[in-house]
Each structure stands twice: as structure tokens, then as C-alpha cells.
Amino acid sequence: MRVLSRFKASTIRRWLLAVGAAAVDPAGVLVCAVLLWLGTAGLCIAMLLVSREDAYHQAIQVGRNLTLVLERDIVRSVELYDLSLRAVAEGAANPSVMSLPKELRNQVLFERPTTARYLGPITVYGPDGTVQACSIETSIRRTHRPDVRWFITQAEKTDAGLYVSAPYASRTAGGKIVLALGRQITSPDGKFAGVVVGRLSIDYFRELLDGLSVGKQGGMAVIETNGILLTRLPYNRNDVGKDFSHSPVFVRFMKDGAGSFVGTATIDGVRRLYVYRHIHGLPFVVGVAPALSEVYAGWRWRASWVALLMALFTVALAAGAWSLMSELRRRQVARAQLQRMARRDALTGLENRGTFDEVSRREFLRAKRNGTPLSLLFIDIDNFKAYNDHYGHQAGDYVIKRVASRIASRVFRPGDHVARYGGEEFVVVLPETDAGSAVLIAEEIRLAIYELDIKHVKSQYGRVTISIGAASSGEPDTVDEAALIKAADMATYDAKSTGRNRVCWHTASNGLNADEHIKNTEPGDQAHP
């Protein structure tokens, strides 16, 4: 269990280190910046969507509250008036009351009727439509009304409920638009005995809506269940009494007793959020309809600020990410340069001594493991101290760079390595290369330097030349990389002691100093193993 826990902890630690290393990489910074932006943008979008939904539901709640206020006011006013109509209907159904003298009869009939600004006089009609009594005598202009719609409807009713007419222009009210509110008068024996009628001015509904507000483009309306408009906000007298029973909005109104939906008004074409309620016990529907543009006005303002802040955040994030990526790139370049400097020679650009030691050790172990040959060339510039003393150190540096470049140009394979061993000495590591092939490569390098024809008055050849020693891991005495390097170094020493500008290679039969077994080449000839 402990081992498993340690393994898990080690795995998590390695994973965290890998994530941390990726995060401080320019590409990682870019990915993190993009993820941060996407996360922030997603959060802002989610907040805006929630805020938009809240604005919608808040508008619905406000609409419901307004419809409830309208319903309660209308129900209360109509109920008060209806109580008066009932009282008059009860008195008119009593023969004793109706047989009283006119003044006394009227006093008994209209003792309790409610009087208000928008309530008209109450009139009692007999079964034949003849006016029998009125709360205000001066309002009686026609004494016979058997042909009007509200009388006919009341006479044909089978129930004793309140009757509400469609809006009409009342002659007795000076042409004002009113609603007729009526109740049947039923005799003690259950027969139709007439109608009690009062009127309610449409101005009541208009003033009721005028006291409320749902925005500049919003609207409110009171409409009968048959589709006849009683009033709306904003008010237009020409709209009162119009039939909207075929309007899509009204059709939606009639689906349920209360609800909300989004629709386009038939009157002005404005898209609104409709919240409606059927008034219980009355043939009225009240609707509140704020314009969608105003419902989301506050949300749009917040969304604009969020968008602006998001844009500023995006610019800041992009600038910060770019600056950080630039700095990380600069550091990566600097680190790469330091690593290159740590592994490369500053003057020639070849691998340095430390890198050579690492490579030679690795390649020797690989050759031993795979059973393949490994060859090493040790190169030394002939009479370099004399060249330096005669031509100066700058010229010496120039020669070192030219020689290094020409050596590198003759080593083609990706797995081969060329390094500056120190001063005017160079080494070439040739994996999977036997002694014969190594000598051929060495000879190509020697000739390439010879053909540079760099003047050297202190040399017996009159130009810059090199001596090369070669050794291979295939010999019994090259048991490790140190022995291989020593063998190639001694072969180079032999090349110098036998005339310079030549290639010598090491064989185990002669040890490291037996001249008779060190092959060499003449100055202009190729060496052969």
C-alpha cells in the first residue's frame, strides 16, 4: 500500500512538474491566456444570460402585479355598482314598493344606490321596456326602450347574473361611450318583470390606466371577452369599441385565465411582453404589455459595460501574454545560447571538450553494447605555435576557424561529431566506422586542409597542414573511451614525429609507440590501411 501511495505521489509530482514546465513555455502561456479568456468570456456570457432571464421574469412579475391591481380595482367598483342594481331590482320586484307614490317609491328604490364620478343614473324598465323609475329624473329622455340590445338580451336571459354590454355612445350621457350594467327584475312568481340598468363610463377604465406606466412604448388594455376593446394605454378614442377577436394577441389571451407571452401588437406593430389576467366573474381581460426593447434596456446597458470591460480585459490579457511570451522567448534564446555556449566552442562553433567527453563515453558504450566499431580521429595543426608567434594571435584564431569549418564540411553523417579538443587540437567521433573507413575520412580531411593553401612560412610545406591520428574500438587494447582517445593521441604524435601532414593509425600489435606498425602517408598521397 505504501509503495502504491509513493508511486501515486511520484506520478502526481511528475505530472505537476510537467504542467508547470509547459505553463512557462511561450506556447503554454498562449494556451493559458486563451483558456483564461475563454473562461472569463464564458463566465460573462453566463452572467449576462442569467441577467437577461432575470429581467424577463422580473418584467413578468411586475406585469402580474399590475394586472392584479387592475383586477381588484375593477372588481371592487363593479361590485359596488352591482350591489346598487341588486337593491333596486329587489325593490322593483316588490309590488308594494312599485305601488307607492312616485316620490316615495323613488326614495325607497334609490335609497342605497352608489354614486360616483363614472357611474350614471339607474333606470327601472318594465317588461315592455317602459321606464318606470329613474334615480335622476332629468336623465329620462326616452320612456320606451324595448328595442335596444341590452334590453333584449336581459329579457332573454335565463339567469339572474350581472349583464355587461359592449361599449356604446349614450345619447342620455351626451354621446359619451359607456357600458350598460343591468340585472333582471324577477316577480315573486318567477316571471320576467323588467330590467334595472345603470351605466359605467369608459372614462373610468381610461383614468385607471392613466395612473400606471409600463414605459414609453409599453401598453395596457382592458378588453371584453368577446374581443371588444374598452380602453388601452396609450389612449386612442378611435380604438375604443373595435373588435380584436381575430387578433393573434387576443387569441392568446383567451387560451388561459392568466399567463404571459411575447407577441407583436396589431395596432402599432411593436413587439411586447404580454402579461394578462381574466377578471373573475366579469367578462373583462386586463393586459399589461411592456415593450421588449424596454424590458431589456437595463440589461443591454449592463451588457454594454460587460462587453467594454471584456474588450479592455482582452487587450490587457493579449498585451500581457505577448509581453510574457516575448520575455520567455528571449529567455529561451538566452538559455539556448548559454546551453550552446556550454556545449559549443565559442571560437569555432564546434562541440567543446566537455561535450566531446560526454559523446565519446556514450558512443563507446553504445558500440560495446551493439557490437559495432567506433573510430576516433585526433587532429593537430602542425607548427601552430610558430604560426601564432609569426603572424599574431588574430591570424591564429582565423586559421583555427578555417580549419574547424573545413573539418566539419568533410564529416557528413548526423551521428558523427566534431569537437575542438583544446588549442589547435580537434577530435572526430565516428560511430559504426571501422579503421579503414576512418583512415579514408581522415585523409579527406588532411587534403582539404592542405588545399586551403594558407601561407605558413615557418612550415616545411610553406602552408598550414595538419597531422591526424586514428584509432578504433575494434583493437583489444582500446577497452574504454579513455584508452581510445589515448591511442588516437599517440597516433597523432607519431604522425608529427614522422614528418607531419600525414595520417597515422593505431594497431594493438605495436602498442602505442612501435613505429614499425604505424602506417603513414606521404604529403600528397592518400593513406591506405
Where does residue 186 rank: exposed (0-12), middle (13-18), buried (19+ CB within 10 A)?
A: middle
Residues 6+ away with beta carbon under 8 Å from 305: none
Name the amino acid, one letter, at 452.
L
Q: What is the pLDDT of residue 452?
A: 94
CB atoms under 10 Å from CB of 103, counted, come to 8
**Model's pTM, two decimal places?**
0.60
Q: Please state, in angstroms and rounded to a whole number, the distance separating the CA atoms of residues 175 and 166.
A: 15
Environment class of residue 290 by beta-carbon count within 10 Å: exposed (0-12), middle (13-18) or buried (19+)? Answer: buried
Euclidean distance between CA atoms 77 and 284, whole angstroms: 13
Residues found in the chain: 529
Give the three-state DSSP class for 323.
Answer: helix
Distances (CA, A) of 222 to 114, 229, 280: 23, 6, 14
Topology (CATH level 3) of domain 353-517: Alpha-Beta Plaits (3.30.70)
Domain boundary assignment for the chain: 39-314, 353-517
Q: At what angle do helices 26-92 and 202-210 cross, to 10 degrees?
A: 150
Residue 380: predicted pLDDT: 96
| CA distances (Å), origin 68, targets 76, 288, 299, 468 | 12, 10, 26, 107
Residue-level pLDDT at 16: 58
CB atoms within 10 A of CB 354: 12
The three cell numbers of residue 255 are: 387560451
Task: Give the DSSP H/E element, type plus range, for residue 71.
Answer: helix 26-92
What integer pLDDT is reported at residue 527 of this predicted model?
A: 40
Cβ-in-10-Å burial (0-12, 13-18, 19+) of 259 comes to middle
pLDDT of 514 reads 32
Give Dmax over CA atoms of the chain in angstroms: 167
Rounded to whole angstroms, the Cα distance separating 119 from 77 reads: 9
pLDDT tens for each residue of 496-512: 999 999 999 887 654 43
pLDDT at 508: 63
Question: Distance between CA atoms of 282 and 392, rounded to whole angstroms?
Answer: 118
Do the beta carbons of residue 204 and residue 77 sit within 8 Å? Answer: yes
Distance CA 217, CA 196 (A): 41
pLDDT number for residue 15 = 60
Q: Locate cell 550552446: which residue?
A: 340
Domain at 39-314, CATH from 3.40.228.10, 3.30.450.20, 2.60.290.11, 3.40.50.720: 3.30.450.20
**Rounded-to-integer distance, Cα 187 and Cα 406, Å:** 134
Say which residues have a Cβ less than 8 Å from residue 515's Cβ, sequence separation at least 6. 494, 498
All three cell numbers of 331, joined, read 529567455
pLDDT digits (tens, 9 = 90+) for 196-210: 888 888 888 888 888
Query: Cell triple for residue 343?
Result: 556545449
Q: What is the pLDDT of residues 398-431, one digit of tens each?
A: 999 999 999 999 998 889 999 999 999 999 999 9
Integer CA distances (angstroms), 276 to 75, 265, 266, in order: 16, 14, 16
Using 50 as the pLDDT threshold, list the residues of the chain that sit under it.
139-141, 510-529
> Rounded distance, CA 427 to CA 430, Å?
10
β-pair partners for 24: none
pLDDT at position 370 is 92
Q: Counting beta carbons within 10 angstroms of the beta carbon of residue 175, is it exposed (0 to 12), middle (13 to 18) or buried (19 or more)?
A: exposed
> Which of 420, 410, 399 lies closest to 442, judged by CA?
410
Q: Cα dist. 255→225, 244, 252, 291 in Å?
A: 11, 15, 5, 22
Domains 39-314 and 353-517 share a fold: no
Q: How far is CA 139 from CA 54, 121, 133, 149, 178, in A?
A: 54, 7, 11, 20, 15
- Strand ranges inside 315-381, DSSP E: 374-381
Percentage of residues of the chain with pLDDT beyond 70: 86
Instruction: Please give the pLDDT value at position 206.
Output: 85
Round to whole Å and give the CA distance between 97 and 91.
Answer: 6
